[in-house]
A = this chain, B = another copy of it.
Amino acid sequence: MPEFKVPLRDMRFVLHEVFDAPAMWARLPALTDSIDTDTADAILEEAAKVTSHLIAPLNRSGDEEGAQWHEGRVTTPIGFKQAYATYIEGGWVGLSGNPGFGGMGMPKMLAVQFEEMLYGANSSFALYSALSSGACLALDAHASDALKNLYLPPMYEGRWAGSMCLTEAHAGTDLGLIRTRAEPETDGSYKITGSKIFITGGDQDLTENIVHLVLAKLPNAPAGPKGISLFVVPKVLVNADGSLGAANAVSCGSIEHKMGIKASATCVMNFDGASGWLVGEENKGLAAMFTMMNYERLSIGIQGIGCAEASYQSAVTYARERVQGRAPTGALAPDKPADPIIAHPDVRRMLLGMKAMTEGGRAFACYVGQQLDLSKFSDDASERDCAQILVALLTPVAKAFFTDTGLESCINGQQVFGGHGYIREWGQEQLVRDVRIAQIYEGTNGIQALDLLGRKVLANDGVALRLFAREVRHFALHHESAYGSELLKALERLEGLSNWLLERAKANANEVGAASVEYLHLFGYVAYAYMWSRMAAVARSRLDRDPPFYAAKLATAEFYFARLLPRTLSLEASIRAGSAPLYGLADEQF
């Protein structure tokens, strides 16, 4: 199996050159003392070592062995425990955590690069800490100071992990249906009773404690989503001094047998009158949980990019080494029995498709990371507000588009290998199995699309889209010559379609869901056109500094505009056919 190499040069390109993060860091008081170009590079290099040398080598063996459940306890595959111990020594779990409680306070723009490395190296391993980071964020935003003081430091340290307990057997997308109950006790705590499923890292043997964030209903809570509260429920009870006490009434009933991410334990969690503490206000639990979910959504999106990058690296290596057939224009390696398959146009098409989408996704993740940083660290309220609007608009795009196109890339990366891609030995099939979950969990991509179109684009008469469009239009008109008109055309397609949908949705509520997934894809392709325009502009201005590197960026941009952006044509045509063709059949005629 080929070695996973972190694409550091490409990461620095988007971080430092395309989005000029150092300039932003220098002007934001909260960041100016803690990070600059050199610090960022040092962190990235250290992260690359940890992920590629420590964690990536456990990817295949972790898949073969899988997480195991025995008498209520989960054991992770051989090597995970030791690697996790080394991993948390570096403070990686708290990379972008609140420094007031032991986090490193690093910007999200940097953290997204790290997350990509982690998922590219080993998606199962990545999940154990991804959930912790998200849980910390929710606690930091909504919990009382007492809870924060008790829980956050060991969680940022990585000694304790977090989990996210939402789903029940009959309540996945529709969380309003949950049945888990929370009964108030006289000491201010609650007794939590109920059963949750699909809990990533619900149990494991990596950390001393697991801090479950659990959605439950208080007695007499309103029905539906407005009657849900959020509780922190530790696996092991925590004494007032932070030391560990008795076991809580929380148990892992079993783990799922899955298509992929087999080294990640997906648990059934039973709460049998477990002690829990309220996070935030009563009945406002869903909103508080969304702090975590939004974090996880971007993170899970990045799983799509990380897996695609890993698949791409292996596919390129294989395509250079495997000789088979001759290039259509004549033998390129007449001394060999055949030419490397990278000579074949269709192999190049697959590789370039992977490259263009992965690099476009990396740039977009960094861009969303920048908006997250601005919304958190800017001292200008209007800049914060705008950034917050963009984050809300773009997060569902990132989650769903990264993962839908991430699957496509992994499938192409498998296809490049021919029969060798289907056998386990080369690792390409594992990436397909591992990345597939990312389209499903943290809200299926269908739900992301409804969120995008229904709640973000059409809400408030399209104000969020206008904000994004203003920025893209400004760039197209003022910064970029080569792709300015194509970018503008793509943007106008998106705007025209959005306006059309705004009208249609008023007349028929089915129009949103009928358009949403294809709309999200169209949005994604337009957003990547913006990314590739920005990358091309920077590459062109620096071409003479490192010709092979920047010329590759320009060639990939060219491929993107010529051969991928046209996918918007079909998406638009299908969307404009409307919802009627979906309702020609009665349910029983399917």
Q: Which residues of A contact B (CB under 8 A)?
A: 167, 170-174, 177, 197-198, 256-260, 266, 316, 319-320, 324-325, 328-329, 337-338, 340, 342-352, 355, 407, 411, 414-415, 418-419, 421-425, 429, 432-433, 436-437, 439-441, 444-446, 449-450, 508-510, 512-514, 516-517, 548, 551-552, 554-556, 558-559, 562-564, 566-571, 573-574, 577-590
Contacts and interface: CB of A to CB of B under 8 A. Distances in A.
B419 A440 contact: yes
A450 B346 contact: yes
A411 B418 contact: no
Nearest to A345: B513
Nearest to A428: B259
Contact of A441 (B324, B419, B566, B581): B419
Contacts of A329: 508-510
Contacts of A177: 324, 337-338
B328 A509 contact: yes
Given A346-B514, A346-B517, A172 B581 contact: no
Contacts of A569: 566, 569-570, 573
Nearest to A419: B198
A542 to B, nearest CB: 16
Given A346-B449, A555-B585, A590-B351, A419 B259 contact: no
A421 B439 CA distance: 11
Contacts of A415: 439-440, 444-446
Given A415-B446, A437-B422, A583 B348 contact: yes
B167 A340 contact: no
Question: What are the 5 tightest A-B residue pairs by CB atom distance, in nearest-first order?
Answer: A555-B584, A345-B513, A566-B573, A562-B577, A259-B429
A257 B425 contact: yes
Contacts of A508: 329
Contact of A566 (B355, B436, B570): B570
A512 B343 CA distance: 13
A32 to B, nearest CB: 37
Given A342-B587, A346-B516, A422-B440, 15 more contacts: A172-B419, A256-B424, A257-B423, A258-B424, A258-B429, A259-B423, A259-B433, A320-B590, A328-B510, A345-B510, A345-B579, A346-B514, A415-B446, A548-B588, A555-B581
Contacts of A355: 590
A446 B324 contact: no
Contacts of A167: 419
6 contacts: A259-B432, A329-B508, A347-B446, A352-B581, A411-B436, A415-B440
Nearest to A255: B423
Contacts of A450: 346
Nearest to A588: B548
Contacts of A514: 345-346, 349
A579 B327 CA distance: 13
A285 B363 CA distance: 52
A574 B570 CA distance: 11
A582 B559 contact: yes
A559 B584 contact: yes
B517 A349 contact: yes
Contact of A574 (B172, B510, B566): B566
Nearest to A516: B346
A578 to B, nearest CB: 8
B320 A587 contact: yes
A516 B348 CA distance: 12
A23 B548 CA distance: 65
Given A177-B338, A329-B510, A423-B256, A418 B436 contact: no
Most buried by B among A328, A436, A559, A568: A328
